[in-house]
Chains A and B, each alone.
Chain A
Amino acid sequence: MNPGQNDIIILMVVAPLFASIIVPIVGWRAKKLCYSLTILAVLISLFSSLITAKTVMNHGPVQYYLGGWKPPWGIEFYIDHLNAFIAVVVTFISFLGVIFSKTNVENDLPNKEGAFYSLFLLLITGLLGIVLTGDMFNLFVFLEVASLSSYALIAMGEKGAMYASFRYLLIGTVGASWYMLGVGYLYIVTGSLNMANLSELLPALYQSKTILVGFAFILFGVGIKMALFPLHAWLPDAYTYAPSAVSAMVAPLMTKVMIYVVIRVIFTVFQPEFTVDMIQATSILSWFGVLAILFGGIMALSQTDFKRMLCYIIVGEIGYIVGGVGIANATALKGAIFHILNDALMMVCLFFVAGMVMYRKKGHRISDFKGIFREMPFAAIIFTVGALAVIGVPPTGGFFSKWYLLLGGIEAKHWGFVVALLISTLINVALFARVFDKGLYVHGHGSDHSSESTDHSSGTLVQKTPLSMWIPAVIVILAILLAGIFNQAILKNIVQFAVPSGL
């Protein structure tokens, strides 16, 4: 393949990278320009990821040698269907997140636009790097780029965010260190850091205790970062107090990208015969998934704060995906990978709603949602779509990924997972019914029933939510619906091939 042909791949990472360098300097002179530059960079990234995905769909996996060095010695980007898909998800959600961030930054972080957008772009760069790289240690570096920027971004939220972010930093650093330790254990017995190379070298060493421990620590480390129960303790605080633009972006993406890493490690670096058959890591993982689903659901029920409730829903959703990965048959894995897309979309949607309510009502407790169907009918529609997707009502995308997860669970006779999924569906109904009730029923018993007039006041308020908030929200609900309606197109063209061949 001629070297210039795949240059577009590297743009995905380099565009936000260059923008992040330039933005702080530009911020001194023209604050407005930061926003446009950021959008431009992410847009380039988005296009690049789409083109890459198309290339992968047409020609199979693509490699990009950085510095022109061949893999075991140099670093490569290795893009197959799995990470092409995740990269599109990441760039797409980031694009929406950046558009959404405008008002939040202007209002809450005056004079720091440059630094904010720079960190935002670095976060995107880091996440994309994690997704694209084919080198275990390079992944760690990207992980740190993404983590450091997310610590800083989260810390600039409401009161309490500092401490939450600090805890996240401690736990996250330990997690990243464990990941690095695990990589070290693999390195000491194989001498390689390249994923593809490792997967060739490892089968000979599957009996080694070192490999086992290395694998375990990689999983622990990544487990912390993706907040898999019981390593999730940092997540609710961090994402609850973060600025709404940040949580709308970090919450859906960070955990999903880490799940991608898990899939990579379990099915590419190690082969299914090791992880699934020899040490049964996946079946253990699937039970953690079950626990996460149940725990996330129950904890979410007891929250009075909307964002915190969403955080526990995320914990549960991670359980869905991890469970699907753990079941480790093609159907469930298809569902899990597809759910990464759906979950990212619906979480970004709900966090957008939280941001809009925060913007209008200066709070994100469930009680702040009182009457939103009248006052902010637009946000209410978005909320409804997001909620339906989380519950898994067709024709939203959430239903179809759940369908595959359930189908896979039944095929594998993993009844615990199936039951947990179904219970969690019901819990989600209860969760959103609460918010829904608050938003929809404002009259209550005994209040005046002649309130036909209040129906009329809703029109003028719509304009108050700025354009930069509702454009991404509209895009995201359309995406949720389209992901559902065209799920076959997505599954047949890309997700299906993302499933490792060994299953």
Chain B
Amino acid sequence: MDTSLLPILLGVAVLLPLASFFTLLMIGRWLPQSWSGYIATTAIVTAGLLSFWSLSIWLFNHAPEAGSHQTAEHVASGQMPSVHARLVAQHDQPDGPAPATIPGQEPSPEVASHSPEAASHSPEAASQSPEAEHTSAEHGGKKHAYTDDYYLLGQFGRLRLTISYYIDSLTLVMFCVVSIIASCIHFYSMGYMHEEEGVFTDPEVTMKDGSLLKRPGRYWVFFMYLSLFCFSMLGLLLAGNVAMVFVFWELVGICSYFLIGFYVERKSASNAANKAFIVNRIGDFGMIIGLMALWTGLGTLAFGDVDASGNGTIEKAEQGIFTQVRSEESGYCLATPIGMVRQSARGEVGKWARQHPEAAVNGDTAELDKRLRQLQSERISDGKTPYGYWLLIIAGVGIFCGCVGKSAQFPLHVWLPDAMEGPTPVSALVHSATMVAAGVYLVGRFYPVFTPEVLFVIAIIGVFTLFMAATIAITATDIKRVLAYSTISQLGYMMMALGLGGWLAGMLHLVTHAFFKSLLLMCSGSVIHAVHTNEMPEMGGLRKKMPYTAYTMLVGCLAISGVCLPFLIGFSGYYSKDMILEQAFSFRGANAGWLGSLFFVTATGGAAITAFYMFRLWFMTFAGSPRNEHRYSHAYESPKTIYVPLVILAVFATAVAWHIPFVSVSLQGLLEQARPTGTAATVTSSMLGMTWPNEHIAHLDSQWWTIKFPVTMLATGTALGGILLAAVLYGFGVVNPDDVRRRFNLIYRFLINKWWFDELYDVLFVKPLHQISHVVSRIDQRWIDGLIDGLAWSVRWFARTWERVVDQGLVDGVVNVVGRWTYSIGASLRVVQTGSLRQYVMFLAIALIAIFLIVSFFWSPTLAF
């Protein structure tokens, strides 16, 4: 069980779906339809097994040690390990070896006030150098991430394009999550897509003659795309450099395009696919800008330090992004990398080059770097933004732009609800494990690069998204759209958590959400499969007909609502949501004022709304009496291939965040291992005048009464309140929902029209674009075409004249003369060509004799005689 196996295992796990994709691409058309399902499923299940194998290897080598989150919660305060304290204390030291290299970072009184216990532990911690702290933070000196190149594609100057990997516990957890969910979805799809196996009649597409469209089933195409999707996502997780990330990022995008537009004959589906793709392109444009900013400033694409020389020493040029941004000498605090500084302080560089021409010629930049550092610290002490800091912000915001697109954050969230046009398994995959998860994952991955200002942007976007989407979900009646908006809202939660400094909270929610959201979507798929409609008002009472679906979905609803026995046990959502709320609360404590409170208040309200609309969904679908008898009578429990994955996912949705008793292994502990070095620290932005509290603060035992207890109680209360409200309105019919709707008609209109986002975009972007295009097209037709026609006419005139004079007169004359000569010569020579073989042989023999005689007599007589 060597960790050197990891890249091989995971590499194979990534390639298996690709192999399946190629197999289906090449021969899928001719295989029996059911085989394609088996091939793809085998590939992803095997990938899943390999992922678990890798995870076990990881656990074997990196047992989560005391000091990570869950132990901090449960260990008595007297035995509390000093990691938290040290982490806090280290940034409390104004005169440490690396003083305040973060721009504007000053010793923050809030931090001190939040950690009195930490202060009591600080004497021994203070004496430790950052290196010592670092090694202990890196879990007993073991590497917390493995990164290397599989293959060097090419080296172009400084640019090294490689196929590389970056493996830490986050990668492994995500691998397992993606492969479990994808495996379940593959199984599910084998049942769900069985109509595609023969000739498929599309009920939503009517031909010109009024009949329904009939086409050959695309069962194998579906599985082919699924495989490619899994490959892209797994590749994105494994990617060890930015270039690979971008490639897989786009692959994920194109796969979602294919799958959303799977029913390509439906106008709505192809529109939705286009929409998803175009909206994502907008985000990706920002991402390219961010990546280019990173590349310009850092000169490398790799995440971690790649040992390019292969001899164990890390060359300076090959320091990864993370190392450069949070270098060892800056105490793993975010510091503007020297490359970015040099990039933006061009005036200073030029001045230096004029002063030191010989060093500039030799490319000896050590001196220059020293000078730049000096300048930077001068600017910091002046309270100015240091050189290159804006470049860092641009990089962060740019990358986040990509994530906004992929993770459907405001303002690019509009594609996700429409993406429900794809088959339900695809929705489940897109919403839980692959597409949208990619955005959050990337934010988590690039977390060390984000400056506080970027984090603020992320938090604002996240909080707005979570609220907006949650409100829209209240009124939606399409079962899948409710879930779509729920997804957007939950993604908003994650983004907000990340933006508020809750890295672990965000990542944990990503994982738990993946499970319960895939569960919910697949349950809804099962319902749709049974009743053949998406509209909840036509359902009701299905609990009796399809118990498996109903109760697994109930589990999903409970999980997403974060239902729990407070402090004892709960569904997975409880842990992650609580952690997010705690961080928000902690943030509120660190930042006074409405902005500080906004996040917590909105998030808590969002939690209530979430609980409400989820149970609204469940009650409308499963409880009460059937509203449409026809559909009810035709409903039936889905086949085993559909509900068995549901049960599996329900188990995961319940228990994935539990702390396994007697073993120090838990999801939180695992994820904590992957925390980027130096991010568990309190940071302050002077630009915004805000403080981001250390995530560990929220979980200190000392803060139990001030943070943990109130937040948990409040969250539980809001969740129960939401559930209760849903029960009152839809479950027991105490209050008629229609009355409520009439009373709040304006808000209802606002919400049912999804905040008029689509219309807004239409007015803001689409309509003006059409106008501009119209004008441009007129200019094109009138002026440019006229000009070109005129040019063409004059060229034609010139060509005609030229042809008459030069071509016909001069050139043709010469060619004709030559041709005539050739003809006459050929005509006189044709006599020789008698066509008689025997004559030719005689010619040959005579020529031989003649040559011999001529040579011997006239040239060199000694040759012959």
Q: Do A and B bind each other?
A: no
Binding site for A on B (CB under 8 A): none
